[in-house]
A = this chain, B = another copy of it.
Amino acid sequence: MDLRHLRYFIAVAEEENIGRAAARLHISQPPLTRQIQQLEEELGVRLFTRTPRGMELTQAGELFLEEARNIRSVVEQATERTQRAGQGKLGRLDIAIFGSGILGIIPRLLLAFRNAYPEVKTVLHTMTKAEQIEALRQRRITLGFNRMLAPLPDLATELVATEQLLLAVNESHPLAREESVSFPMLAEHPMVLFPTGARPNFIDKVMRLCEEAGFVPQVSQEVGDAVTGVALVAGGFGICLVPESVTALTLPGVVFRPLHDTPPNCRIDLSCLYRTDDQSPILSEFLETVRAFRGPHVAGHSSGIRTETAWDAGI
């Protein structure tokens, strides 16, 4: 049995006349007669009683008509859903974020994507950079957000945004009295650094900037993520350089101060990471959303900065 048989059967059942049904199907009458006979033979069931006025459904035929219409609609829905899946409009996207990634840009980006593609279920996983790379290679996730991603042969990156660095200080700290601070002013002040773990990371960036400013920072503590770093600042452990998105987090006693006289590379990137061999249309659509989102939000700061450039600036 074929879907063609069902289409023909439905037409004959509705027209109650083979000739008219054949016209509707744009075929001639004899083949249609044969297809119906064939269908009846294959099922072993008389679907029509032939009357002088045409074809009349038997009770079994009535039942089969309902079933045939049902099959038709199930097939239609299946193809439609599959096509939407093929266009990246339906499905599932597993995304990894890092610890403080829930602050700032990422949630707004995810919201924009979910509004544009409501039928794509996004699943968030919190992972470190190394875990993200591992998970991408094992295909447990499709995309990861992170900073300072080194180029890898099997993984590609797409810049999402670049952010300013800000100084987080305790309100009782001498530097809190400044409107804004410059790099050399940071020398001699104990500094909280993050994250621990795989290099290169934000620590290297800070170390290099300090070095360029002519000093080596005093490390008071190394911690896992920016949120913990700011919490230590609140506790008086020292000062801490953070990306601007961390200001979304307000802790009592902590104030943020901009940096002045900073070199052009004194910005930190936020990128997403994915398999170069991933052809998933959902990923493509997500990356399109990222590009569209990056335009209005980082224009003037980093528009035109390519993945490679972001990396070069990163270390």
Contact = CB atoms under 8 A, between A and B. Distances in A.
Contacts of A68: 78
Contact of A59 (B1, B49, B85): B85
Q: How many copies of this chain does the complex contain?
A: 2
B63 A82 contact: yes
Contacts of A46: 86, 279
A52 B285 CA distance: 27
A70 B78 contact: yes
Given A63-B91, A78-B71, A79-B43, A58 B3 contact: no
A309 interface: no
Greatest chain B CB density within 10 A among A58, A60, A68 is at: A60
Interface in A78-96: 78-79, 81-83, 85-86, 90-92
A281 interface: yes
A91 B59 contact: yes
Contacts of A79: 1, 43
A141 to B, nearest CB: 13
Nearest to A63: B85
Interface in A247-266: none
Nearest to A45: B86
A44 interface: yes
A232 interface: no
A45 B2 contact: no
Contact of A71 (B63, B71, B85, B280): B71
A252 B58 CA distance: 49
A85 B70 contact: no
Contacts of A74: 67, 70-71, 74
Nearest to A277: B49
Contacts of A90: 63
Contacts of A49: 279
A67 to B, nearest CB: 4
A2 B6 CA distance: 11
